[in-house]
Amino acid sequence: MLLSWGANSHGQLGQGIVNEQIEKPTQVEIKSLHCDEITQIACGGGHTLLLDAEGKLYSCGWNNKRQLGKDEETHRFERVWQLSGISFVNIACGWDFSCGVTDSNFLFVWGSNSNGQLGLPRDHFSEFVKPIRLQVNAMDVSMGLRHTAIVNSKGEVWVTGCGKHGQLGLGNERLSSDRFEQVPKVGKVSHIACGQNHTVTWCSEEKALYVWGDNKHGQLLLSIEKYKKIFTPQKIDIDVKKEVKKLLSGWTNVLLWLENGTMYTWGRNNYGQLGTEDAFVGKIIKINLPDDREVKDVALGSEHTVCIATDNTLWAWGWNEHANTGTGTCDSVNTPTLVPLDIGANKISTVFAGGAQNFVIVTLNTETKTISDETFDINDEESTE
């Protein structure tokens, strides 16, 4: 079962309708697709991509720049037939542009290329582009407001798009690019995340961050008085020795989730997106779920966070203008707050978020069926007599 809630002004929740918002988690009807087949959902400013276990791509929502990968805007998830026959393993969305990494590590891009964020020369391509394959090697990918960053099989970082805030990491003389270029002086990167106007990476070998771009909210963990914009990568040692499960970025905040379940966050906190009522700038804080609950999965929207605990509860905090926390309140949510869910004995398995929309996959309980209140087991020899 797939549930969605939050902003829906372009039908990006896949509910088949367009309205301001859907205030509580509501089931999404997906024809010809079982929820246990969904492997990834990526959210843009007003559009959503969905990837299934066979590598097939679906999309819905805003399509003014053809960011859905098709000609027509749809308000339910529909197959991107222009990319049929291609098996994807990873997807990402920017504000109004999209991409997918194939099982051969090729990168397909589509949507807005107004700032060269698709890595296509603007002199030869229109402002918005239909899906096209690039001759670049990609393992991981992330998209921000107007820039794109990929990690290749060597752990190198390549970037394209707008760089006026330093988010490309190519130096203060390279404020834009419409082709992918390698970022110098970065260790072998294992995780990457683009914010609104910044880029953060994690080097597993060095157990350190490499960061660049806008820092006016302390999202790069550097002094905001001294470093408002960083145009070349800076190494930040945050004394983390555990392996990283996820490195995530909202517009102006960052979250690091470790293999031991610990969540660290930093950056802007104007909406409570750091999970605390205190104003933290340029400092790392640890997020604790109530009653010492452990984290099962976590996702970031532009300025809010959604988290699954191992006790099958769902928590959210941060910006709430479009009911994107799903907590039933109207104001911003400053601390982890329970999201009401009516799912019975079913299990919340995965969460996805972006912009102001959210999706959770609920795995249905498959207990042994009973007949006349007695358990029926097809392997029971007596049942075959």
DSSP code per residue over 180-201: EEEPSS----SEEEE-SSEEEE
Band (pLDDT 50/70/90 cuts) for residue 282 is confident
User: What is the pTM assigned to this prediction?
Assistant: 0.92
What average pLDDT does this structure show over 197-226? Answer: 96
Residue 122: other Cβ atoms inside 10 A: 14
Tokens 């290749």 appear where?
152
Mean pLDDT score of the chain, rounded to an integer?
92
Whether 41 has a pLDDT exceeding 60, the answer reads yes
What average pLDDT does this structure show over 78-94? Answer: 96
The CATH topology of domain 2-384 is Methylamine Dehydrogenase; Chain H (2.130.10)
The one-letter amino acid at 93? C
Euclidean distance between CA atoms 372 and 385, whole angstroms: 18
Burial class (CB within 10 angstroms; exposed 0-12, middle 13-18, buried 19+) of 368: exposed
pLDDT at 344: 87
What average pLDDT does this structure show over 289-301? Answer: 96
pLDDT at 373: 37
Euclidean distance between CA atoms 86 and 33, whole angstroms: 17
Euclidean distance between CA atoms 152 and 141, whole angstroms: 9
Burial class (CB within 10 angstroms; exposed 0-12, middle 13-18, buried 19+) of 326: buried
Euclidean distance between CA atoms 189 and 142, whole angstroms: 13
pLDDT at 367: 61
Euclidean distance between CA atoms 166 and 176, whole angstroms: 9
State the DSSP string of 326-341. Answer: -SS-SS-EEEEEEPP-
Whether 171 has a pLDDT exceeding 90, the answer reads yes
What average pLDDT does this structure show over 253-261? Answer: 96
Whether 378 has a pLDDT exceeding 90, the answer reads no
Nearest by Cα to 232 from 249, 246, 215: 215
Q: What ranges in the chain are assigned the alpha helix state H?
A: none
What average pLDDT does this structure show over 143-147? Answer: 98
